[in-house]
Structures are given as structure tokens and as C-alpha cells.
């Protein structure tokens, strides 16, 4: 069975009636959204907040009831993927360009469950170039400022044109190599006017489900609220 699907299924099984669920973005969250849709057909009652326009469309196609932040005060549980997961539950996200909305939803969530295959587990973040969402106006000076922090930057493109996020912004993929101090790097990036958000999600995962050839490994952050 697909390792991403295995992990996503286990996370989706933890969702209970009445919950407001954050729906992540990407090829692993895809499986969780499908499993939730199946469970809804079997009677599960939830409302969901999507983390991207793509996920929103998918949820609508699968008849998953949606709400917005105008309707709710918090999200009970979010299920999302990640590009890298460190042993201290830091993440790199944004490979699909959805990092801003993913972070907003994660920050409003009581519990964040990350679903991934075992290729995403790393000892130290940084092999995956860090996605940084930037404002298009003045992107070149923003890129130069980011380079001075010690990386090579690549403007993400689709079909020769800048990839545009759901928020109308662009993404710089920033190759820092191994990131020794993710908090310091995140703070430095956030000081720059053109930076909207970074793909560094610090201590962001409460529960991690890793799909492997031998089944799913579940990891729980010890200082986090336990899901009942």
C-alpha cells in the first residue's frame, strides 16, 4: 500500500464527530481528505477549513462541509503534509506553495497532525530548499536580502512564469544547506519587508504519522495536548 496513504488513513481515523478539521495541501493530505470524505459518507459529522484553493475545490467535489474563520474560533485538528520533519518536530513546508494558509490554519489548530512517508524524516532541516513567500513588487531586492542570509535563491516558476500563490504572491526557494538554527533564520527572514511568510514551521507538529514499508510510525510531541 502507498506509504503516504497509510499514514494519512491513520490520522483521518482519529477525527471525531463535531470536530472542525483543517485540511492540508499536497499529495499526502490528498489521501486524508479522501478518507475523511469516505467517513463522512459513513456518517461522520465534521466541518472543515481548507489550506488552499486546490484543497477547497477537492473538498467541495467530495462533499466535505466547509467553514471559514468567520464561522469558527478555532480548528480542532489539522491534518497536513510536510517536506521535511526534524526530530524536534520542526517542519519545512511549502513545496506545493500553500505555506501561508497552511501556517494560518495550523496556528489556529489545537492539534496539528503531520502525515508523510519516511523520506520526509531528516536529522536536520535544509536539504529541501526552504520555500519563502514574497511580495512580487521589488522581488529582486528581497531576493538579494535573503541571499545575504546565506543561501542561493530560485524564483519558483511554472511554464516559464512566476508561480503565484493563492494570495497573489511569489515563492523563492532558498537553498541554505543544513539549517543550524531554524528559529533565528525564521526571525531574520521575517524582518525583511518583502517576506510574507517562511516555510519553517517551528515545533508545529503535535502528532506525526510516518508511513513506512513496515507500517505507520506514530510520534507524539511530549509537551503537546494529547488527543483523547
Ligand X SMILES: O=C[C@H](O)[C@H](O)[C@H](O)COP(=O)(O)O
Contact segment (CB under 6 A) with ligand X among 34-42, 90-98, 105-113, 190-198 equals 90-98
Stretch 96-125 residues interacting with ligand X (CB under 6 A): 96-99, 102
CA atoms within 13 A on the CB side of 100: 18
CB atoms within 10 A of CB 177: 12
* Grid coordinates given for 226: 494529547
Stretch 156-175 residues interacting with ligand X (CB under 6 A): none
Task: Tell me the closest approach of the beta carbon of residue 23 to ligand X, in angstroms.
Answer: 11
Those residues with Cβ within 8 angstroms of residue 213's Cβ, 6 or more apart along the chain or in another chain: 3
Q: Is position 102 annotated as part of the catalytic site?
A: yes
Say whether 202 sits in a helix, a strand or coil.
coil
27 marked as binding residue? yes
Nearer of residues 81 and 194 to ligand X, judged by Cβ: 81
25 marked as binding residue? yes
**For residues 93 and 25, what is the distance between their CA atoms, to the nearest angstrom?**
10
Buried-state track 76-115, b at ≥16 Cβ within 10 A, e below 16: bbbbbbbbbbbeebbbbbbbbbbbbbbbbbbebbebbbbb
Site string (28-57) toward ligand X, x via CB under 6 A: xx----------------------------
Contact segment (CB under 6 A) with ligand X among 25-33, 57-65, 147-155, 205-213 equals 25-33
- Under the binding rule (CB under 6 A), the answer on residue 133 touching ligand X is no
* Selected catalytic residue, list 13, 53, 102, 140: 102
**For residues 21 and 191, what is the distance between their CA atoms, to the nearest angstrom?**
31
Contact segment (CB under 6 A) with ligand X among 69-77, 93-101, 151-159, 206-214 equals 93-101
Q: How many residues bind ligand X (CB under 6 A)?
A: 18
Antiparallel, parallel or unpaired: β 47-50 and 20-23 = parallel
Task: Tell me the closest approach of the beta carbon of residue 203 to ligand X, in angstroms.
Answer: 16
Classify burial at 167, counting beta carbons within 10 Å of its beta carbon; exposed 0-12, middle 13-18, buried 19 or more. middle
Of the residues 20, 36, 82, 111, which one makes contact with ligand X according to CB under 6 A: 82
Contact residues for ligand X, defined by CB under 6 A: 24-29, 80-83, 93-99, 102
The binding site for substrate comprises: 25-28, 80-83, 93-96, 120
Please identify every residue annotated as catalytic: 102
Amino acid at each position: 500500500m502507498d506509504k503516504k496513504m497509510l499514514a494519512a488513513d491513520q490520522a483521518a481515523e482519529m477525527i471525531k464527530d463535531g470536530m472542525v478539521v483543517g485540511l492540508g495541501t499536497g499529495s499526502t493530505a490528498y489521501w486524508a481528505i479522501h478518507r475523511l470524505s469516505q467517513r463522512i459518507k459513513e456518517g461522520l459529522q465534521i466541518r472543515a477549513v481548507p489550506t488552499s484553493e486546490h484543497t477547497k475545490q477537492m473538498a467541495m467535489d467530495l462533499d466535505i462541509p466547509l467553514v471559514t474563520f468567520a464561522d469558527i474560533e478555532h480548528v480542532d485538528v489539522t491534518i497536513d503534509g510536510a517536506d521535511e520533519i526534524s526530530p524536534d518536530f520542526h517542519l519545512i513546508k511549502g513545496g506545493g506553495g500553500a505555506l501561508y494558509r497552511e501556517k494560518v490554519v495550523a496556528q489556529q489548530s489545537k492539534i496539528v497532525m503531520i502525515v508523510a512517508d519516511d523520506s520526509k524524516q531528516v536529522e536536520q532541516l535544509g536539504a529541501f530548499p526552504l520555500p519563502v513567500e514574497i511580495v512580487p513588487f521589488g522581488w529582486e531586492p528581497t531576493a538579494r536580502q535573503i541571499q545575504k542570509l546565506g543561501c542561493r535563491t530560485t524564483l519558483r516558476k511554472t511554464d516559464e512564469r512566476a508561480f503565484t500563490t493563492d494570495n497573489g504572491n511569489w515563492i523563492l526557494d532558498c537553498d541554505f544547506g543544513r539549517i543550524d538554527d531554524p528559529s533565528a533564520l525564521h526571525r531574520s527572514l521575517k524582518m525583511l519587508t518583502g517576506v510574507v511568510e517562511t516555510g519553517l514551521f517551528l515545533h508545529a507538529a503535535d502528532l506525526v504519522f510516518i508511513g513506512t514499508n513496515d507500517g505507520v510510525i506514530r510520534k507524539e510531541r511530549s509537551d503537546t495536548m494529547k488527543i483523547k
